[in-house]
Amino acid sequence: MFPDTVKAILEGLNKGDFSSEEITTELLARANRHQPDFNAFITLDEEGALAAARQADEARRSGQAGQLLGLPFAHKDLFCTQGLRTTCASRMLESFVPPYESTVAARFRQAGAVCIGKTNMDEFAMGSSNENSHFGAVRNPWNTEYVPGGSSGGSAAAVAGGLVPAATGSDTGGSIRQPAAFCGISGLKPTYGRVSRLGMIAYASSLDQGGPMAHTVEDLAILLGVMAGLDEADSTSAEEAVPDYSAALEQPVKGMKIGLPREIFEAGKVGQTEPAIQAAIESLKSLGAEFVDISLPHIDLSVPAYYVIAPAECSTNLSRFDGVRYGHRCDNPKDLEDLYARSRAEGFGEEVKRRILVGTYALSAGYYDAYYRKAQQIRRLIKQDFAGAFQAVDAILSPVTPGSAFRIGEKTADPVQMYLEDIYTVPVSLAGLPSLAIPAGLLNGLPVGLQLTANYFRESTLMQLGHQFQLHTNWHQQRPSTSGRPD
């Protein structure tokens, strides 16, 4: 039996308890066995993974080091991996094999990690349930009739289901935090610009941010240390030095100030997650944290503003998929117009088309001021709300989602219901702040997540709070009974 956290696997590899080839072989077998249950992967790279694992074992034998040497993990299928198919869960890119590597993939490779495959996701990262994939819905390992959350649902299901100890995700409006919450794992959306976006297929460029997903905050600290840092080739990547995130873990919580937004807590909007969230507040209080009432007055405008800005950016980003340069091309086009129209009609799924339509409308000459400009103004107000709050507190606490995972099919008929799932995650995204989701309880047998948000580049504060919380609770140690581990 192999351990399932990054830290314990790296220790096991270092001590020689098992080799990278052994654990990689086992995880590939589990991933294959559970593909019909969870549908967590789009592509498994058995050959590439085993070769990389053997190489890591060889490197270890010859005394070489690497932060993640021999660690098996998976990438969300929007990180371009050179020579390995990258689909973004779209028919448009069904057979796209990138000629270059994303910076994130390159950094994992340089650290010696072994990518076993590419995880399923909502098409072009658009969704909150992982039901929008061209390769079929992902299922939640806690109960396969329920969604795993989206859009990094394949990554979350693969970790929760014991198929990999860690996976990458991307978060535009909640896509790391919400699936982490629904699947009972930990996930971090870093500050916008902390992790390079080069080679990460774009959805909404002013919001997209890659980050790690794993069982524990301790693991997130190790992984973020590998992913973060300036990339000269991404002009939006930050110059800010990367601190030692693992060193932050041991700092005590005593005396830290945590804000509770009254627009959530006093307005009775904590909803079904209330008992879990209250218990988490009590745990943090017992560790010496002080809770402070704060106000984020424009938070209710976040979902409408986000669902104008994100589609607007997506409509321009996705204009590159025209059937000419790369991606799906329709058969026998009559003329150029027909080539564009049919290639896009065939290549994109329903939700992606809905976003392109909404975004194009919001950016059109007659409506730009009414929708796009207004949404940008709201975004500024939300940013200012957070800036005000962080004058008084170190972190802000809230639920990740209004409830636990919902049933597959439950919200697909009503996009607005689906968008409202993002009510606690999108304000943070609009402001570009770092935010952590950690398991904090169970509701009807399904995990509930706690969200902690800090000021720009204060990922260390989140690591500290999250790790200290995990030292005193055991929600992060709970595993679904249907998981891929051999019992």
Residue (70 or 179) nearer to ligand GLN, CB? 179
Q: Which of 133, 155, 175, 246 is catalytic?
A: 175
130 neighbors 137 (Cβ within 8 angstroms): yes
Q: How far is the CB of 119 from ligand GLN (least distance, A)?
A: 13
The angle at the Cα of 347, spanning 343 to 350, to the nearest 5 degrees, equals 125
Edge to edge, what strands does the sheet with 290-294 contain? Answer: 41-44, 114-119, 72-76, 166-171, 209-214, 186-189, 435-443, 446-454, 395-399, 257-261, 290-294
- Cα–Cα dist 299/261, whole Å: 9
Active-site residue (options: 133, 151, 170, 186): 151
In angstroms, what is the minimal distance from the CB of 309 to ligand GLN? 10
CB atoms < 10 A from the CB of 59, how many?
16
H or E element in which residue 102 lies:
none
Interface with ligand GLN by CB under 6 A: which range of 76-84, 160-168, 170-178, 226-234? Answer: 170-178
**Interface size with ligand GLN, residues (CB under 6 A):** 13
Confirm or reject binding of residue 128 to ligand GLN (CB under 6 A).
yes
Shortest spacing between CB 102 and ligand GLN, in angstroms = 16
Of 98-106, 172-180, 262-270, 386-394, the segment contacting ligand GLN by CB under 6 A is: 172-180
Q: 127 or 427, CB closer to ligand GLN?
A: 127
Is position 261 an interface residue for ligand GLN (rule: CB under 6 A)?
Answer: no
Buried-exposed string 351-384: b where 16+ CB fall within 10 A, e elsewhere: bbeebbebbbbbbeeeeeeebbebbeebbeebbe
Q: Please say if 189 is a catalytic residue.
A: no
> Stretches 82-90, 166-174, 244-252, 266-274: which one binds ligand GLN (CB under 6 A)?
166-174
Does 174 bind ligand GLN (CB under 6 A)? Our answer is: yes
118 is catalytic: no
Helix, strand and coil content of the chain, in percent to the nearest 5, comes to 45, 15, 40
Min CB(390)–ligand GLN separation in Å: 22
Site for ligand GLN contains 219 (CB under 6 A): no
| Interface characters, 197-216, with ligand GLN (x: CB under 6 A) | ------x-------------
Instruction: Report if residue 359 touches ligand GLN, rule: CB under 6 A.
Output: no
Amino acid at position 115, single letter:
C
| 173 touches ligand GLN (CB under 6 A) | yes
Q: Nearest-CB residue to ligand GLN?
A: 175
Active site residue 151: yes
> For residue 213, what are the β-bridge partners?
167, 187
Task: Report the chain's C-alpha Rg in angstroms.
Answer: 21
410-429 residues near ligand GLN, rule: CB under 6 A: 422
Distance (Å, rounded) from C-alpha 463 to C-alpha 457?
12
Q: Under the criterion CB under 6 A, does residue 154 sit at the interface with ligand GLN?
A: no
* Angstrom distance (rounded) from CA 435 to CA 234: 22
Binding residue (CB under 6 A) for ligand GLN from 160, 281, 310, 408: 310
Q: How far apart are CA 122 and CA 152, in angstroms?
A: 7
CA distance 84 to 72: 16
Question: Tokens for 22?
Answer: 């052994």
**112 binds ligand GLN, rule: CB under 6 A:** no
Under the rule (CB under 6 A), what is the footprint of ligand GLN? 125-128, 151, 171-175, 203, 310, 422
Which sequence positions are flagged as catalytic?
76, 151, 175
